[in-house]
Amino acid sequence: MNADMPVFRLQRGNSPLLVSIPHVGTHLPSWLLPRLTPAALSLRDTDWHLDQLYGFLSDLDVTVLMATHSRYVIDLNRPSDNVSLYPGQNTTGLCPLDNFDEQALYNPGEEPDSREIHDRVATYWQPYHAALASELSRLKAMHGRIILWDAHSIHSRVPRFFEGELPHLNLGTADQLSCDAALAERLLDIMQSKGNFTSVMNGRFKGGYITRHYGQPASGVHALQMEMAIRTYMAETDFPEFDAARAEPAQTLLRAMMAFLLQWCSENQHE
């Protein structure tokens, strides 16, 4: 199995902050298209336009790693052995068979077998994670203490995963295992200072594989996941368009949070 285009885009910076955006990709390989249902082709579960929402990061010299392929090809925020991150709860897998609305992604009999899943891991999953690990190592060598911010978005109402409406901002730190507890609390304070946004820490979303695996605060790598309700920055339609005016308050808040993270790292280098 060969990828028909690069599986990630890397914008390399030199500050102690790396932002990973593993679900922003929309590409579906040509070999897969005939096997997919209309529900899959709609790409409904994409983390829409986070590349534009976080477009200001280039001004801050931040490293940004973004997936190019849809999460329906492979979910980069799941472990490669497909062990559930939320045992006992309804979740989607490494190579999902249905979308968040529990609609089938494959035509009958066209689902990937174990061999194909293994090949997808090698072709799509491993290169992204190799790049992520390499960039974290580079930045840690430069700064000693660094931050990994894993950026996500989701529809405000997904009954499969949670009841009611999701808060605007959902910060995950694996129940304070993936980063410094005081750092996370300060970020929550910044989020809560904005009365127009609701926020929670370690609610329904505590952080996926990327946050849990790479977050090693004792070794100087502090990882956080931001799951943002799509309504925070644009309308929740089937094929949403980025709304710069609506996104501006969210971007202002994200800038403030990124500035705090960079300051925190600067004050705690090589501890």
What residues form DSSP beta bridges with 64?
A: 11, 19
- Tell which CATH architecture fits domain 8-267: 3-Layer(aba) Sandwich (3.40)
Mean pLDDT estimate for the chain: 94
Residue 216 β-bridge partners? 221
Average pLDDT over residues 247-264: 96
Three-state DSSP at 151 gives strand
Dist CA 269 CA 213 (whole Å): 22
Q: What is the pTM of this model?
A: 0.95
Q: What is the pLDDT of residues 113-127, one digit of tens each?
A: 999 999 999 999 999
153, two tokens: 């978005």
Please state, in angstroms and rounded to a whole number, the distance separating the CA atoms of residues 136 and 142.
10
Residues facing residue 201 across a β-bridge: 171
Cα separations in angstroms, 157 against 100, 166, 229: 10, 6, 9
Q: What pairs with residue 199 in β-bridges?
A: 169
Say what the pLDDT of residue 119 is: 97
Domain locations in the chain? Answer: 8-267
Helix and strand element counts for the chain (H, E)? 7, 7
pLDDT in tens, 131-179: 999 999 999 999 999 999 999 999 999 999 999 999 999 999 999 999 9
Task: For residue 261, give the amino acid letter.
Answer: L
